[in-house]
Amino acid sequence: MGYDPRYPQKHYDQLADDEWTRLTRSRRGELNYVVHIDVLRHHIRGDMDVLEIGAGTGIYTKELVHMAHRLVVADLSQVQLDLNREHMRELNLLSLVDEYRLLDLINLGELNDASFDAVVCIGGPLSYLLDQEKRGVQEALRIVKPGGIAIFGVMSLISTLIRFMGALKSERDAIGIDNLRWVLETGIQDRDHTPTSEHYCHMMTSANLDSLLADEKVEVIERRASGLLSLATEDSLAEVRTDDELWELVVERELAWSKLPGALDLGSNIVYVVKKY
């Protein structure tokens, strides 16, 4: 099965405004969020023209508008773009967004070469491209100026398996051991191997990202595991969250350990920051 934009578009159309609270309604999500924000704060500067692709309802848009010189917000889903615009209006931030665009990551043709200082592509857009992942990476890099950066985030295979280990038997019973083995070996959920779901995506390892970037004229300047400590149970994290001193310590460790090479594949998301030659 190849990439079909109708499936991620449908998925996010149906999620609608649930996406707005995805990283705030659980403590696991909160830990994921703090690492992404830390990465953005370290790499997005006030003199940068930035494209946020796969922006959704504005989880990161509301922060990026304060970091960038100019921000263009794009998504595959018109529903998500409309909600993003509405949230920015409610927060009195809409005037800080330069433009909204309905765009697919594999086809940014209406955007000129080397027209942005940074492309932010986090939360999973790259994970939905399946056989078009390389094209998505190349399109993102095409519009980045030499010396500029791209921030890529993908869903993590190993972390997902650990968190959903309890569902492994029922998944095997639903799709069969051969299909399950294929999903765990490749990280790919598609129509051929997971007929019980239309959430077609590629949960990756850092080796997958390394391979996607290997032939590109880029330098990887940072690798991060996002949501590393979200491997703990939600109940245990919620208990810690009631104590400000303890939660501050957990967040401190999340940020520090997210930079460890050995932790990279255990985050709920894997984040790479690359600089274009």
What percentage of the chain reaches a pLDDT higher than 70? 100
What confidence tier does 265 reach under pLDDT thresholds 50, 70, 90?
A: very high
Token digits of residue 106? 């594999």
Torsion of CA 202, 152, 237, 171, to 10 degrees: 0
Token digits of residue 27? 């403590």
Is 147 inside a domain boundary? yes
Statement: residue 258 has pLDDT above 80: yes
Is 167 inside a domain boundary? no
pTM for the model:
0.96
Is 83 inside a domain boundary? yes
Statement: residue 124 has pLDDT above 90: no
Statement: residue 146 has pLDDT above 80: yes
Residue-wise DSSP of 180-230: HHHHHHH-EE-TTT-TT----EE-B-HHHHHHHHTTSSEEEEEEEEETGGG
pLDDT, the chain, mean: 96
Statement: residue 69 has pLDDT above 80: yes
pLDDT value for 277 = 93
Residue 101, phi then psi, degrees to nearest 5: -135, 135
pLDDT value for 16 = 87
Residue 229: Cβ within 10 Å count: 24
Provide mean pLDDT across the span 130-142: 97
Residue 61, phi then psi, degrees to nearest 5: -55, -45
Question: Cβ(105)–Cβ(53) under 8 Å?
Answer: yes
Q: What is the DSSP secondary structure assignment for residue 91, as one 8-state letter? A: T
Q: How far is CA 254 from the centre of its chain?
A: 18
Residue-wise pLDDT for 39-66, tens only, equals 999 999 999 999 999 999 999 999 999 9
pLDDT value for 153 = 97
Q: What is the DSSP secondary structure assignment for residue 238, as one 8-state letter? A: H
pLDDT value for 228 = 97
CA distance 234 to 239: 9
Is 185 inside a domain boundary? no
Residue-wise pLDDT for 151-201, tens only, equals 999 999 999 999 999 999 999 999 999 999 999 999 999 999 999 888 999
Statement: residue 23 has pLDDT above 90: no
* Domain coverage including residue 20: 6-155+202-276
Residue 92, phi then psi, degrees to nearest 5: 60, 35
pLDDT value for 206 = 97
State whether residue 266 is helix, strand or coil: helix
Cα distances from 30 to residues 27, 137, 140, 228, 234, in angstroms, run 5, 27, 27, 11, 11
pLDDT value for 227 = 96
CA distance 168 to 181: 11
Is 181 inside a domain boundary? no
What percentage of the chain reaches a pLDDT higher than 90? 93
Contacts with 109 (C-beta within 8 Å, 6 or more apart), sequence order = none
Residue-wise pLDDT for 205-239, tens only, equals 999 999 999 999 999 999 999 999 999 999 999 99
Residue 239, phi then psi, degrees to nearest 5: -65, -45
Statement: residue 1 has pLDDT above 80: no
Is 236 inside a domain boundary? yes
pLDDT value for 155 = 97
CATH code: domain of residue 58? 3.40.50.150
Total count of domains within the chain: 1
Is 81 inside a domain boundary? yes
Question: Cβ(19)–Cβ(57) under 8 Å?
Answer: yes
What confidence tier does 22 reach under pLDDT thresholds 50, 70, 90?
A: confident
pLDDT value for 181 = 97
What's the angle, vertex CA 94, arms to CA 89 and CA 97, rounded to 5? 150
Provide mean pLDDT across the span 60-81: 98
pLDDT value for 10 = 94
Question: Cβ(90)–Cβ(112) under 8 Å?
Answer: no
Statement: residue 109 has pLDDT above 90: no
Is 189 inside a domain boundary? no
